[in-house]
Structure 1
Amino acid sequence: MDARSYLFVPGDRPERFAKALGTGADAVVIDLEDAVVPAAKLAARDGLRRWLPTVDPARLIVRVNAVGTPWHLEDVEMVRASGVSVMMLPKSDSARQLAEVAARLPSTVRIVALIETVAGVVAMREIAGVPSVARLAFGTVDFCGDAGIEGLGAELDYVRSQMVIESRYAGLAAPIDGVTPELDHLERLTEHVAGARRFGFGGKLCIHPRQVEPVNRGFAPSEDERRWAARVLAACSEHPEGAFAVDGKLVDRPVIERAKKIAEFDTLIH
């Protein structure tokens, strides 16, 4: 669950599935929910069921329809029988809801809990503690609609901080930030990725293939960071028991741990 880029693909566009897998996205999310109109949902599910046995599902995630919708239970049953190992649950509102969904799935299937309502934010600690939940994701646009908030930037800082804190408290991977709706504004995307990373997020939802590469790059250590980590770890080996400085700054245990994470990044992601 250390993916950086999560690329959504409409579940009723099977001709795009293989193309999405070829984009370099760390994970491809086949979306049976918002991207598919009600009249097409049954056909989308059936088409996905036929396609899944033809590919390696390792990088695939299925976003099912929300609990309480007419399509939810059969979506979950399709995932259960498919061999897909990760499912995304929209409108994740309570720990009980997540536990009931998890009970219908093999124990090996992990759930990305998409937090996109006020109820989900209020229950976030309990949701993050459900054993089958592997990561939290922020459905920013839907959350703003539910909360009556206008704007996807500083208006959501409180929720982003809470999501990072609760993920860390539950021992989950760093959470996944919401989409950047502007498809032709890669500078805005780059700004959003940098901001999410500063807050402690580890990935981002993508709605177009052109967003994948900037997201992957933005959540990876820069060359300057890699060189800094190498200097810290080299100095650490020379001073195994005492305090020392690198680039004129004191290095202590948290700094050393950060350097180790940067040095291990390529190994972890691949």
Structure 2
Amino acid sequence: MSTALPRSYLFVPGNRPERFEKARASGADAVILDLEDAVQPEEKPAARDAVLAAADAARPAWVRINGSDTPWFSDDIAALVGHPGIAGVVLPKAETQEQVSAVLAHAHAAVGVLPIVETARGFANLTALCTASRVGRIVFGTLDFQIDLGIDGDGEELHLFRSQIVLASRLAGIGAPVDGVSTTIDDAAAIEADARRGRRFGFGGKLCIHPKQLEAVHRAYAWSEAEKTWAARVLQAVEASKGAAVAVDGKMVDLPVILKAQRILGRG
């Protein structure tokens, strides 16, 4: 079984249990049953019950709980994170290690935590979040982050923050972070471009809000046939050189180039 980290995380509203199986069958690498943004306040207890009823130890699910500053946080973690059908918790508005610890205090041993960095304070505490217990990777909540900081735009306006999240994740030795959602649903080219931008910055996956987005995200996080062909030529040239200096396409092949070729072909 592959141990690769998910490229796609698909949200499904926790108050729409009829969609749970459709989401699981959508082709998403991971499904997040959402109790936070997708659920109106008056429906949150019922949504929690629906998620709990659907929890299956044979197919553990991720759940985005409500934030620690809400009245539903304690009930969410008390009800859910001890259940063997819960693989992990997506923690919104993550800002401190104490928030992560509050989740894990109730959790079974296999539960992981994906903190969403979506506030200035959360970003300022990146190192603490990256090194918190059972945090496998960081999620960048781009939409709420823009609102919190008064930023207007998801492009160059967020370049600094994306780079710093990737750097902090690497220094902590955790998985490549997960980029925020694309709000467009029907424009596959735009979705793929968004995902490829995140990949260029060093992200390893992307949040999705609709199954239509999955194919484009998966394309963006897959090596193209041209890249695979280039990598094979690099490694063939290196092998044939028997240790001598070698060039491919007029460019010298040094160790970083070899390592990239090996990574593309899954040999690194």
Task: Decide whether the 8 Å contact of 1:112 with 1:137 is kept in 2.
Answer: yes
| 1:69-100 residue CA offsets vs partner (Å, 9 max, x unmatched) | 11112212312224322221111111232233
Matching residue of 1:186: 188
- CA deviation after TM superposition for structure 1 residue 188, in Å: 1.8
Q: Corresponding residue for 2:39?
A: 36
| One-letter amino acid matched to 1:189 | I
Q: 1:152 to 1:241 in 2, by over 3 A?
A: same
SS of alignment partner, residue 32 of structure 2: strand
Counterpart of 1:250? 252
1:70 maps to which residue? 71
Q: Give the distance between the partners of 2:248 and 2:97, measured in 1 at CA.
A: 45
Query: 1:233 and 1:65 mapped to 2: Cα distance?
Result: 49
- In the alignment, structure 1 segments of 5+ residues that lack a partner are none
Distance 2:192 2:97 in 1: 33
Secondary structure in structure 2 of the residue aligned to 1:6: strand
Q: Give the Cα separation in 2 of the matches to 1:242 and 1:199.
A: 33
TM-score (norm 1): 0.92
Against the structure 1 CA distance between its residues 74 and 227, is the aligned structure 2 distance closer, same or farther, given a 3 Å change threshold?
same
Alignment of 1:1-270 (within 5 A): 2-53=5-56, 56-57=59-60, 60-77=61-78, 78-239=80-241, 241-264=243-266
Contact 1:114–1:138 (Cα < 8 Å) also in 2 = yes
Amino acid of the structure 1 residue aligned with 2:178: I
Deviations 1:84-120 (A, max 9, x none): 2222111111123223322332232111111101101
Retained in 2: the 8 A contact 1:107–1:132?
no
Q: Give 1 or 2: higher helix fraction.
A: 1
SS at 1:264 equivalent: coil
Question: Given residue 104 of structure 1, which amino acid in structure 2 is its aligned partner?
Answer: H
1:229–1:263 contact (8 Å) kept in structure 2: yes
Change in CA separation of 1:20 and 1:231 when aligned onto 2, cut-off 3 Å: same
User: Deviation above 6 Å: which 4+ runs of structure 1?
Assistant: none
Question: Percent same amino acid among aligned pairs?
Answer: 46
Q: TM (normalized to structure 2)? A: 0.93
Q: Distance in 2 between matches of 1:179 and 1:240?
A: 47
Instruction: Report which structure shows greater RCO (CA 8 Å, sep ≥6).
Output: 1
- For the 8 Å contact 1:80–1:105, the answer to whether it is kept is yes
- Give the partner amino acid of 2:95: D
Amino acid at match of 2:231: A
